[in-house]
Amino acid sequence: MNYIKVFFISWLLISLISKSLSKDFGTEKEATNMLERAVNLVNYNKIYALNIFTERTGGFNFKDLYPFCADDSGILTGHPFNVGFDLLTFIDTDGKNVGKEFLQVAQVGKINKVTFKITYPKDTIKKEDKEYEKTALVTKVGDQICAVGFHNN
């Protein structure tokens, strides 16, 4: 009988811990869903979509996920924090030019992945400096390169 109690309590703790961790970061499936919704909105009304992405409203603020778009030259046109930023200057902690890869892989009607490393300073999302691996799901919509990134760890 004690084994059953131990098993049940262990299972309960593992479930609670995994659920609390899953609340922090969005999954690949959730990011894919958000990107598909973002593409539909850009196709419907680009200017409105870019404003919604920048304001992080309209259901485009879920966990840590958000869509962002850049023009063909790599300048962010819709982003909650960095509108006007040049993606071509985005180099990850391993020296990879992430922005250049975004522009290279973006294709209309297809979602491609770009994986990169990023370090968040303490107090942004954690209490200490921490490096994360992220994957951005990237596509092209008209003259926009749009993406949603999710954490791999």
Q: Which domain holds residue 55?
A: 25-151
pLDDT (average), residues 11-33: 63
- Strands laid side by side in the 67-71 sheet: 76-78, 67-71, 144-151, 130-141, 112-120
Q: What is the mean pLDDT of the chain?
A: 85
pLDDT (average), residues 96-119: 96
Q: Is the residue at 15 inside a domain?
A: no
Q: How confident is the model at residue 8 (pLDDT cuts 50, 70, 90)?
A: very low
Q: Is the residue at 78 inside a domain?
A: yes
Query: With 60 as the cut, is the pLDDT of residue 10 above it?
Result: no
**pLDDT score, position 104:** 97
C-beta separation of 144 from 70 below 8 A: yes
**pLDDT score, position 148:** 98
pLDDT (average), residues 18-43: 84
Query: What is the spatial distance between Cα 127 and Cα 150, in angstroms, rounded to a whole number?
Result: 20
Residue-by-residue DSSP string for 59-125: T--BTTB-EEEEETTSBEEE-TTTTT-BGGG-B-TTS-BHHHHHHHH-BBTB-EEEEEEEEEPTTTS
Nearest to residue 138, comparing CAs of 110, 116, 117?
110
Query: With 70 as the cut, is the pLDDT of residue 20 above it?
Result: no
**pLDDT score, position 119:** 85
Query: With 70 as the cut, is the pLDDT of residue 117 above it?
Result: yes
* β pairing state of 76-78 and 130-141: unpaired
Q: Is the residue at 36 inside a domain?
A: yes
Q: Is the residue at 102 inside a domain?
A: yes
pTM listed for this prediction: 0.80
Q: How many domains, the chain?
A: 1
Query: What is the spatial distance between Cα 3 and Cα 139, in angstroms, rounded to a whole number?
Result: 51
